[in-house]
Chain A
Amino acid sequence: MNTKRRIFLKSTLAGSAIAVAVGAGLLSPRQVLAAWPKDAFEAKNIAASLKGIYNADMTTPSSDIEIKAPDIAENGAVVPVTVNAGMKGIESISLFVEQNGTPLIAVFNLAPNAIGTVSTRVKMGKTSNVVAVVKAGGTMYAGRKEVKVTIGGCGG
């Protein structure tokens, strides 16, 4: 058989195999939120939020979660936070600012091929721990880092 034709057919097959996987929804986040989890976002403490989002109440501290954030935030309205989680099978990363009136900041549900890293900017009312909870392989892991805030960012 003509070599060029064999290579062409082979690459077409490879492309369509991925297309089938994508079409079958195999590359979607395993945990998708149905509606905006109001109770979790209005909860006054992290435990209550976790119950609302993951129906979980226990987390295991993990050294595999790195939180990058400034030690001292000059402006509490815009605090850059990056969560890097290295464990396998990450389904979801939740971000909290412990001392905020309502600690839950955001929930990031990730597809299996997504890397366990999210970066954003958050509002902090005062000096507090920034906490990241990672759901991976059915287990809830947690990491935290203290960020000192000189001027609070909730405008209240």
Chain B
Amino acid sequence: MADSIKIRATLKGDVCTVKALIKHEMETGQRKDKKTGQVIPAHFIQEVNCTHNGSNVLNAAWGAAISKNPYLSIEFAGAKKGDKVSLSWVDNKGEKDSTETAIG
């Protein structure tokens, strides 16, 4: 299942730019529900990994201060058209998702 991630990997020379948009609440745990007055529990992505042909190019730790529905863009060299790029995330509740695309 890769429903939460929209990803595009484009190539210029041998540099691949990966742009991703992830659907996630990124709830800080500081907001209060207006109706009940209860604190809305923290729910945010903690780890993001991006691989190129199976090899890790990015390993990131995120906090709740990354905006809701996070946008991410990174670049790496040594890429060729058709190479596989994958992006995965794990959040503080242990939920996760990942997706894969080919460099176009």
- Which A residues are within 8 Å of any B CB, using their own CB? 18, 22, 25, 27-29, 32-33, 36-37, 41, 77-80, 82, 97, 100, 102, 104-111, 113-115, 117-123, 153-156
Contact = CB atoms under 8 A, between A and B. Distances in A.
Given A33-B59, A36-B46, A105-B66, A119 B76 contact: no
Given A22-B53, A118-B74, A119-B73, A78 B67 contact: yes
Interface of B: 15, 28, 30-31, 46-47, 52-68, 70-78, 92
A120 B70 contact: yes
Contacts of A79: 67
Contact of A115 (B55, B72, B76): B76
A155 B55 CA distance: 38
B94 to A, nearest CB: 11
B66 A121 contact: yes
A104 B63 contact: yes
Nearest to A82: B73
A108 B58 contact: yes
Contacts of A156: 30-31
A65 to B, nearest CB: 16
Given A22-B53, A97-B65, A104-B65, 17 more contacts: A25-B55, A77-B67, A78-B68, A104-B63, A105-B65, A106-B63, A111-B56, A111-B58, A113-B76, A117-B75, A118-B72, A118-B73, A119-B72, A119-B73, A121-B66, A121-B70, A121-B71
